[in-house]
Amino acid sequence: MPFEGLGPGAAPLALVDCNNFYAACEQAFDPALQGRPVVVLSNNDGCIVARSREARQLGIGMGVPYFQLADRLRQLGVVVRSSNYALYGDMSQRVMACLEAQVPELEVYSVDEAFVRLPALAPRALSTWAAELRVTVRQGLGLPIAVGLAPSKVLAKLANQLAKRDPSRGGVFNFLLEPWREPWLAQCPVEEVWGVGRRWARWCRLRGLATALDLSQADPELLRRKLGVVGLRLQQELRGVSCLPLELLPAPRQETCVSRSFSPPIQELQPLREAVASYLVRAAEKLRRQGQRAGCLTVFVRTSPFAAGFYGNSASLRLPLASQDTAVLLQAALPLVDQLFRPGRLFQKAGVLLQELQPLDQWQGHLFVSLSAEQRQRRERLLALVDGLNRRHGAGTLQWAVAGLRPAWRLRRDHLSRGYTTRLQDLPLVYAR
Ligand SMILES: [Mg+2]
């Protein structure tokens, strides 16, 4: 029944999700791509990570290596794009800002998804509201969204899938208006229930729990014994009882990682140092944006796992004083690269992990390392200036020389679209006659 089990204080919510987000961003800025099949490739033009609806209809698979399909895509007239994360990240923020203006509360769940608290309207009026929200986002940003309304998060996820699957629903599925949820739950394989990982799914299947409906009707004692309170919550959510609150503030990050593959591989020490240095510069920027310091850092490198003589290794170092200063972190990281390097190896990937992150307002001094408050503030002002310039004028405007000025190991991005929303010189041009 509608509102069944909706406890006191709990209010219905919705999952808003952008359809085919990366491909849709590409289509939004290039009118020639509208209605055409578009695929977006992962870093280094490796695999297909996003497909427009038209590409999906051609039967192009997700995660397929690009080189395997390149010829076929050309024959089919599919437009290929390298991933343009500057564009997607910026569009993501615009989507969230647009939603935030329309709802009382919002939890950003991923780059293209948010759980939102709904305005206080009757269930039927909420469907109309959701349809209007779709129009607002489409008009403002050129992006299609789907809205799933439900009494709980797990059901909102399912409602969103249903909104996308059935075109006659117009991108909105409202569980609050469905008198019988059972048939919908019965259509949903247990693997597709939000929160059910691969291991749980296998455990469920072995006990004959094949669908969301089976899981919602399973013996709670059985779930509690195997899956604990998390399993019980999941079951309650499937029954329409909200147990998972909206998380309005993202949990502070415990670690930050930046890693990339190289193409072609790196054989010399110098370019490997440059690559690691450039990842560290990025990671330190992230750290400062999050208002954190790192207490520990790890550098890792590896050769291709598919080539003979695989070599992969990592090295960590605890900093005497937690830091967010790029220079301090570089000084710690570069000797680790020297230590991990092996002559004659073809390195294919490297990365940096910043760990033991702590908020800036917790400052712990060190007995043997002196750093006056004045020295620290001067460094912080300098780094804020560098970050500000790079944000305004594009990443790499001010670069650390150790990261290399014209690196040959940079990402392969042969099909990159422009930074329509983040670079002044890439602004779309409109000609009027
Ligand atoms: Mg999506």
pLDDT score for 9: 46
CA distances from 188 to 27, 151, 152, 159, 206 (A): 30, 17, 16, 11, 17
- Contact call for residues 41 and 28 (beta carbons, < 8 A): no
pTM: predicted TM-score of the whole model, two decimal places: 0.69
- Contact call for residues 150 and 159 (beta carbons, < 8 A): yes
Rounded distance from Cα 115 to ligand 1 centre (Å): 13
Say how far residue 190 (Cα) sits from the centre of its chain.
Answer: 24
Residue owning tokens 């912080």: 380
Rounded distance from Cα 345 to ligand 1 centre (Å): 39
Rounded distance from Cα 16 to ligand 1 centre (Å): 9
Say how far residue 219 (Cα) sits from the centre of its chain.
Answer: 35
Rounded distance from Cα 315 to ligand 1 centre (Å): 36
**Bridging pattern class, strands 38-41 and 79-82:** parallel
Tokens of 421: 């929303």
Rounded distance from Cα 18 to ligand 1 centre (Å): 4
Rounded distance from Cα 103 to ligand 1 centre (Å): 19
Say how far residue 251 (Cα) sits from the centre of its chain.
Answer: 15
Rounded distance from Cα 131 to ligand 1 centre (Å): 17
Dihedral sign for Cα atoms in the order 7, 10, 16, 17: negative
Rounded distance from Cα 35 to ligand 1 centre (Å): 18
Rounded distance from Cα 175 to ligand 1 centre (Å): 20
Q: Which helix (H) or strand (E) holds 263?
A: strand 256-266
pLDDT score for 1: 38
pLDDT score for 5: 42
Rounded distance from Cα 114 to ligand 1 centre (Å): 10
Q: 332: closest CA among 271, 283, 291? A: 283
Rounded distance from Cα 351 to ligand 1 centre (Å): 27
Rounded distance from Cα 134 to ligand 1 centre (Å): 14
- Contact call for residues 233 and 243 (beta carbons, < 8 A): yes
Q: What φ, ψ does residue 291 adopt, rounded to 5°?
A: 65, 45
Rounded distance from Cα 280 to ligand 1 centre (Å): 30
Side-chain-side CA neighbours of 30 within 13 Å: the count stands at 21
Tokens of 254: 């415990």
pLDDT score for 299: 93
pLDDT score for 344: 92
Rounded distance from Cα 391 to ligand 1 centre (Å): 27
- Contact call for residues 51 and 62 (beta carbons, < 8 A): yes
d(CA 178, CA 156): 13
DSSP state of 271: H
Rounded distance from Cα 56 to ligand 1 centre (Å): 14
- Contact call for residues 19 and 12 (beta carbons, < 8 A): no
Rounded distance from Cα 20 to ligand 1 centre (Å): 5
Rounded distance from Cα 154 to ligand 1 centre (Å): 16
- Contact call for residues 187 and 202 (beta carbons, < 8 A): no
pLDDT score for 7: 44
Rounded distance from Cα 21 to ligand 1 centre (Å): 5
CATH homologous superfamily for 180-251? 5' to 3' exonuclease, C-terminal subdomain (1.10.150.20)
Q: Which CATH number fits domain 256-403: 1.10.3470.10, 3.30.1490.100, 3.40.50.2300, 3.40.605.10?
A: 3.30.1490.100
Domain 10-179, CATH: 3.30.70.270
d(CA 273, CA 286): 20
Rounded distance from Cα 149 to ligand 1 centre (Å): 16
Question: Domain boundaries in the chain?
Answer: 10-179, 180-251, 256-403
pLDDT averaged per 10 residues in sequence order, the chain, 433 residues? 44 94 94 93 88 94 91 94 88 92 90 93 95 96 96 96 91 93 95 90 94 96 90 94 82 78 87 92 90 91 84 89 91 95 92 87 60 78 84 73 67 76 77 78
Rounded distance from Cα 144 to ligand 1 centre (Å): 10
d(CA 308, CA 383): 43
